[in-house]
Structure 1
Amino acid sequence: MAHAAGGLAEGLSLSPEEIWSALEKDPLWKDWQEGRISPRDWHLHLSKRLGSKLNFDQFVEVWNQALDPAPIHEDGFLGKLGKRYRMAVLSNTDPLHVAYMETTYEFLRLFPVRIYSCRVGASKPDPIIYKEALEACKVRAQEAIYVDDVPSYARAAERLGMRGIVFETRERLWDSFREFGIDVT
């Protein structure tokens, strides 16, 4: 999000850090992430709040700069896992990012189930979004492993009966998979 904050900060008296802080604390942030605000209304809201002069198309371009296109694993690893296990992406994200990711990131095809907060109307750590993923994957919580780089999100999955892994490095992730009996070769 730092990239997007930098783009939003252009021409403003706020630093990218101040922009990001304002976004995180914005009273409408959760509504945006959970799909209760349209992209155009979010653009208008932020333009007024931050004093931005970006038109909607410019805003969308800058907003999507927040996304990091580098997956944590190469397609080969994910492809092997996908042949043996049901895999899903569970993401707190907005409609603009979903549209961009779905048309840009090839690795998403390796996840047949993609659960986005803006489509479900709930975001992590709300149990609703995890239950939606379990239902879509047709598995019970006790059969699922949930990986996230946010510890509180992994703990929320554990409270529902899933096995949670906090992603830190690829090597630690593989070790955790092995502990749970998942073949990573």
Structure 2
Amino acid sequence: MPASWILFDVGGVLELVDDVTWPVAYVARCADRLSITVEEFESRLATTQLPDAGTRSGVEDDFWRVLGSAVGAGQDVLSVMREDFWDAYCGTANVELIDCARSLVGRAGLAILSNSADGAREQEERRYGFSAIFDPICYSHEIGVNKPDPRVYRRTLDAMGAQAEQVLFIDNRPENVEAARRLGMQAVVHADNQATIAMINSWISGTRAVQA
């Protein structure tokens, strides 16, 4: 097994996407397609029990069926909404950071831990081919729990066959980084590629002088 590992988050790290703003913009586009207000769209969803696609797998189709029925979307509009969702969710590739990871294949273990929605594995693999670089790829909807719950980190460590002290974890959310540190991982908040790549190089070189 590798002597050291780098564990990456996806959204906001390997993918360029703002997890705060894109859902708001997405809801506005959906409402516009349905010729209703954002408030009406949200009201219709508020009274609907959607399947939990964040911690369950095999529910994606049912999720969209229930959502479409709730907001009054016909099949054609719902298909557009679904495609738009995945485009917004996946953002664009952080090419510089992905290329950095690719350059480390064979030098360190490379893995992913991501809070996710059912369908993310297929969508991200189609767009970015993560499986050619990262193994394992751990998604919350398949594990059944989200970061920062410590269980998701422990299950990921088990999948990696690694001890916490062997792992550098990179995430854009401070609460997820703090949870990893509490379990004994080195962990850093991703702010920009230059700083993150410098931290990775320090880790790989054995210096381990990693700062938040």
TM range (shorter): 0.7 to 0.9
Q: Secondary structure at the match of 1:82?
A: coil
Aligned to 2:148: 125
Aligned-partner SS, 1:99 = helix
1:63 Cα offset (Å): 2.1
Matched, 1:141 2:168: no
Q: 1:158 aligns with which of 167, 170, 181?
A: 181
Secondary structure at the aligned position of 1:161 is classed as coil
Equivalent pair of 1:4/1:64 in contact (CA under 8 Å): no
Letter in 2 for 1:68: G
Unpaired stretches in structure 1, ≥5 consecutive residues = none
- State the number of aligned residues: 178
Change (3 A) 1:98 1:75: closer
Instruction: For 1:46, give the aligned amino acid.
Output: L
How has the CA–CA distance of structure 1 residues 71 and 135 changed in structure 2, closer, same or farther, with 3 Å as cutoff?
same
* Cross-structure match for 1:181: 203
Within 2, Cα distance between the matches of 1:119 and 1:172? 31
Q: Confirm or deny that 1:32 pairs with 2:53.
A: yes
Aligned to 2:68: 47
Distance in structure 2 (CA, Å) of the matches to 1:81 and 1:101: 20
- Matched residues in 2 for 1:75 and 1:174: separation? 10
Alpha-carbon distance in 2 for matches of 1:84, 1:138: 16
Name 2:106's counterpart in structure 1. Answer: 83
State the shift of 1:162 in Å: 0.8
Question: SS at 2:93's partner residue?
Answer: coil
Tell me the amino acid that sits aligned with residue 44 of structure 1. Answer: R
Equivalence for 1:169: 192
TM-score, normalized by length of structure 1?
Answer: 0.79
Q: CA deviation at 1:152?
A: 0.8
What residue is the counterpart of 2:118 in the other structure?
95
More helix by share: 1
User: What is the deviation of 1:100?
Assistant: 1.3
Greater length-normalized contact order (CA 8 Å, ≥ 6 residues apart) = 2
Percent of aligned positions with the same letter in both sequences?
24
TM-superposition CA deviations, 1:6-61 (whole Å, max 9, x none): 5433224234x9979x98xx8757x2101167112211332244343345543431
Task: Return structure 1 stretches of 4+ with deviation > 6 angstroms.
Answer: 17-20
Q: CA deviation at 1:137?
A: 1.4
- Structure 2 distance, partners of 1:167, 1:119, is 24
Instruction: Work out which of the residue numbers 13, 22, 27 in structure 2 matches 1:5.
Output: 27
Structure-2 residue corresponding to 1:112: 135
Maintained 8 Å contact 2:157/2:164: yes
2:92 aligned counterpart, secondary structure: coil
Would you say 1:71 and 2:94 are equivalent positions?
yes
Secondary structure at the counterpart of residue 169 of structure 2: strand
RMSD after superposition: 3.1
**TM-score with structure 2 setting the length:** 0.70
